[in-house]
């Protein structure tokens, strides 16, 4: 079994590769069904179930690693999202999330079940706070809905974003379309009419003519 300890001859290259393969497979499989067996993961990774236990002590340890990575990527993607206009900010958060659909989906799927909830909530903190802040600003500016608590609006925006990500995949939308939609619907839930939302999105897209790496 691969060891993280110091050795006379140290780690082997393919061990690292296999570790990555396992994580990739887990992300893929758990996105479909968070309760899939390690056997399914192993098969997807092209390894034996036994081999997984060479890299991760337990199922939960594998899960934890996935969450940490996902959280990190999302944090990174959100790090350089700043805009004085809360509407633009919110839209940009949506766009950033679309860039990390896979990660987001894994987290969202896993969020439902099990005792990992704490870890997951933690991983999604950056998204939460970013959205919440934007909602507060948007309400203050008179654009967003003020008929319910900003907290609630933020959560609804998050849920809507997840739903859009699903729908984007299901309806097989273009990268561009999906980006637009995830931004637009977030703004809709926040309170804008769809035309106003589209206007904000247009503004963003024209200002960043060529840009954006996709996952």
Partner DNA sequence: ACTAACTTGCACACACCTGTGCAAGTTAGT
Partner DNA sequence: ACTAACTTGCACAGGTGTGTGCAAGTTAGT
In contact, 158 and 131? CB cutoff 8 Å: yes
Q: Which does 20 bind (CB under 5 to 8 A by kind): DNA, a copy of itself, none?
A: none
In contact, 133 and 144? CB cutoff 8 Å: no
Q: Is 171 in the site for a copy of itself (CB under 8 A)?
A: yes
Residues making contact with DNA (CB under 7 A):
1-3, 7-15, 18, 37-40, 46-51, 53-55, 57-60
Going residue by residue from 134 to 163, which x/- string records binding to a copy of itself, judged by CB under 8 A?
----------xx-xxx-xx--xx--xx--x
Q: Which does 91 bind (CB under 5 to 8 A by kind): DNA, a copy of itself, none?
A: none
- Taking only Cα atoms into account, the Rg of the chain, rounded to an integer number of angstroms, comes to 20
Going residue by residue from 182 to 201, which x/- string records binding to a copy of itself, judged by CB under 8 A?
--xx--xxxxxxxxx-x---
Q: Which of 138, 159, 162, 160 is nearest to 150 (CA)?
A: 138
The whole-angstrom separation of Cα 155 and Cα 152 is: 5
Q: Which does 33 bind (CB under 5 to 8 A by kind): a copy of itself, DNA, none?
A: a copy of itself
- DSSP conformational letter for 80: T
Structure tokens at 83: 């805009």
The whole-angstrom separation of Cα 29 and Cα 32 is: 5
Give the shortest CB-177-to-DNA separation in angstroms: 36
Q: How many CB atoms lie within 10 A of CB 9?
A: 5
Structure tokens at 123: 């991983």
Q: Is 169 in the site for a copy of itself (CB under 8 A)?
A: no
Q: Is 167 in the site for a copy of itself (CB under 8 A)?
A: yes
Q: Which does 37 bind (CB under 5 to 8 A by kind): DNA, a copy of itself, none?
A: DNA
Q: How far apart are the first and last CA of the chain?
A: 31
Contact residues for a copy of itself, defined by CB under 8 A: 33, 35, 113, 144-145, 147-149, 151-152, 155-156, 159-160, 163-164, 166-167, 170-171, 173, 177, 180-181, 184-185, 188-196, 198
């Amino acid at each position: 079994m691969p060891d993280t300890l110091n050795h006379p001859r140290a780690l082997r290259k393919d061990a690292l590769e296999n570790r990555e393969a396992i994580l990739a497979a887990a992300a893929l499989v758990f996105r479909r069904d968070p309760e899939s067996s390690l056997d399914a993961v192993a098969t997807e990774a092209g390894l034996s179930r036994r081999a997984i236990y060479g890299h991760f002590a337990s199922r939960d340890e594998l899960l934890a690693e996935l969450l940490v990575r996902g959280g990190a990527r999302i944090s990174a993607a959100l790090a350089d999202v700043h805009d004085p206009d809360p509407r633009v900010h919110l839209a940009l958060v949506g766009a950033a999330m679309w860039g990390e659909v896979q990660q987001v989906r894994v987290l969202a799927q896993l969020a439902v079940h099990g005792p990992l909830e704490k870890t997951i909530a933690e991983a999604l903190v950056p998204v939460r706070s970013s959205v919440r802040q934007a909602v507060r600003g948007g309400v203050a500016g008179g654009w967003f809905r003020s008929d319910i608590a900003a907290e609630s609006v933020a959560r609804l925006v998050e849920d809507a974003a997840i739903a859009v990500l699903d729908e984007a995949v299901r309806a097989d939308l273009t990268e561009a379309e999906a980006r637009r939609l995830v931004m637009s619907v977030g703004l809709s839930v926040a309170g804008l009419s769809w035309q106003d939302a589209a206007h904000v999105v247009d503004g963003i897209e024209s200002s960043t003519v060529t840009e954006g790496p996709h996952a």
